[in-house]
Structure 1
Amino acid sequence: MTLSINNEFDWEGIQVKVSLPSTYDPNQTYPVILLNDGNLDFLSSLSESVILVGLTSKNRLDDYTPWKAAGLRDGAQDFGGQANAYHGHLFGGLLDKLRSLYHLDEARLAYGGYSLGGLAAVYSLFSFDKVSCVFSICGSFWYPDFVAYCKEQKLKNLDCLLYLLNGQTEGAHHTNRLAQAPAYAKQIHTSLQKHYPTGQFVFDPYGHHEQVAERFLAFSNWLAQKWKIE
């Protein structure tokens, strides 16, 4: 299912796309999902009940990473570590812009993504508390020093729903630190589970690029239950 896009604009270098329910009523409040990389079709099962907001970064290797790190192989682009600035634009201004355009249900705001987009979302837990749900699907938890960071730093957004899904065979064909992706992910799940007893922490048998639509559907079904969406 390809969703219709009702609004599109640029915000501080973030390309924003908004998909409204087909029966959108400006006098009603609606839950909102902010999705890194902007692949809103993956959330289509929620599209009749939720305002979907796709976020496409101008440089995801910068905007979705918490600090600078070398590229994973010779000749690969380095990671820029600009997630704090990205989240500053997202939570410091864009969210207010969306509030001015639409009637948001403040108790049901979600933010997340896939791969590096999921890494950024989990990183936001430590600095921002503007959303009531954070989700990561195949989050890039192999990122250098991220496990230590999660274990040592104090969480800021403790009162939110948390959904983490990773694959047991992610990184199977790599020889760099990606080969240990499931082991890194397991440590992140274990570390955060203690703080989010009502969260969902899932490992499925697939690799990083497999079953993407099905993984998003599993998250969507979980969120619909938590948010009591028909």
Structure 2
Amino acid sequence: MKIYTYGHPEAASVLIQLVGDHDFAGIEQEIALLRGMTNLDFSFLAVKVDSWNDDLSPWPAPAVFGRENFGGRAKETWKAIQPILADPSKKYYLGGYSLAGLFALWAATQTDTFCGIAAASPSAWFPDFYEYVQKNVLKTSAVYLSLGDKEHKSRNPVMAAVEDKLRAIYTQLQAQPLKCMLEMNPGNHFKEPELRTAKAFAWVMKNTNTAGKQ
């Protein structure tokens, strides 16, 4: 695991995004988009995981595409990022795209450290995750969820349930004492991930600060 730092290190708001090799081509674009959406200063930590499927999955699960199973090492990943959350004067936000968005939602059940969770097109189809959210409270102030309006058209029956599962999670979160948003974006899972993630971080920042652009 390696951490890449962007933005202003002394900023009061710290955005943490779990990323893989495939994300780095768009990180600077995402940050530029985010700067256009909020006037709040922030530092941005891109935390690169070693194994996308293993390090971000909350428990083991069989492969749903290809041959790579899910190793269920989210707890180890959570322990590894705890040292970067040590400054009580900072506001920490956790987010990500796809399986990293799912990890962010799961992490919010483990700690109350994060002011907001930015889950852009999270892998809500992940086996038993909706049932997990039914039994566990997200200990955060704001949660942003989004999805592409064509993501449910997957030929894979497990992944095709993503919209139904995410809407059910959103309904569940509405009953919890936090601010929550679900936004549907045009396109499939692979359309404009940088824009979707920037919107997610911007929303949770605005909804936990009073000085951001509205």
| Structure 1 unmatched ranges of 5 or more | 1-13
Kept in 2: contact 1:162–1:196 (CA 8 A)? no
Q: Determine which structure has more spread, i.e. the larger CA radius of gyration.
A: 1
Kept in 2: contact 1:110–1:133 (CA 8 A)? yes
Structure-2 separation of matches of 1:175 and 1:62: 20
Q: Specify the SS of the correspondent of 1:71.
A: coil
Q: Mark the CA change 1:94 to 1:222 in structure 2 (over 3 Å): closer, same or farther.
A: closer
- Counterpart residue identity of residue 43, structure 1: I
* TM-score (normalised: structure 2): 0.83
Kept in 2: contact 1:116–1:140 (CA 8 A)? yes
Q: Specify the SS of the correspondent of 1:190.
A: helix
Kept in 1: contact 2:170–2:180 (CA 8 A)? no
Between 1 and 2, higher relative CO (CA 8 Å, sep ≥ 6) is seen in: 2
**Alignment deviations for residues 4-42 of structure 1 (CA, whole Å, 9 cap, x no partner):** xxxxxxxxxx21001133xx6x5xx52100011064321
Structure-2 separation of matches of 1:33 and 1:78: 29
Regions of 4+ moved over 3 Å: 45-48
Count of residue pairs the alignment pairs up: 201
Q: Which residue number in structure 1 is paired with residue 123 of structure 2?
A: 140
Structure-2 separation of matches of 1:220 and 1:94: 18
* TM-score (normalised: structure 1): 0.78
Kept in 2: contact 1:193–1:201 (CA 8 A)? no
Is 1:129 aligned to 2:112, yes or no? yes
Kept in 2: contact 1:49–1:229 (CA 8 A)? no
- Counterpart residue identity of residue 76, structure 1: R
Kept in 1: contact 2:105–2:138 (CA 8 A)? no
Q: Which residue number in structure 1 is paired with residue 56 of structure 2?
A: 64
Q: Which residue number in structure 2 is paired with residue 10 of structure 1?
A: none
Q: Please point out which of 74, 81, 89 is paired with 1:90.
A: 81
Q: Mark the CA change 1:211 to 1:156 in structure 2 (over 3 Å): closer, same or farther.
A: closer
Q: Mark the CA change 1:179 to 1:156 in structure 2 (over 3 Å): closer, same or farther.
A: closer
Q: Please point out which of 41, 51, 54 is paired with 1:49.
A: 41
Question: How far did residue 129 of structure 1 move?
Answer: 1.4
**RMSD of Structure 2 on Structure 1 (CA):** 2.3
Structure-2 separation of matches of 1:162 and 1:196: 11
Is 1:195 aligned to 2:176, yes or no? yes
Q: Mark the CA change 1:133 to 1:197 in structure 2 (over 3 Å): closer, same or farther.
A: closer
Question: How far did residue 148 of structure 1 move?
Answer: 0.9
Question: How far did residue 131 of structure 1 move?
Answer: 1.2
- Counterpart residue identity of residue 136, structure 2: K
Kept in 2: contact 1:170–1:181 (CA 8 A)? yes
Q: Specify the SS of the correspondent of 1:77.
A: coil
Range that drifts further, 182-191 or 211-220 = 211-220
Q: Mark the CA change 1:193 to 1:167 in structure 2 (over 3 Å): closer, same or farther.
A: farther
Structure-1 separation of matches of 2:96 and 2:128: 20
Q: Which residue number in structure 1 is paired with residue 192 of structure 2?
A: 211
| Structure 2 unmatched ranges of 5 or more | none
Q: Which residue number in structure 2 is paired with residue 11 of structure 1?
A: none
Kept in 2: contact 1:171–1:208 (CA 8 A)? no
- The equivalences for 1:1-230 within 5 A come to 14-21=1-8, 29-37=11-19, 39=24, 40-41=27-28, 42-46=30-34, 49-73=41-65, 76-91=67-82, 93-96=83-86, 99=87, 105-106=89-90, 108-151=91-134, 153-155=135-137, 157=139, 159-226=140-207, 227=209, 228-229=211-212
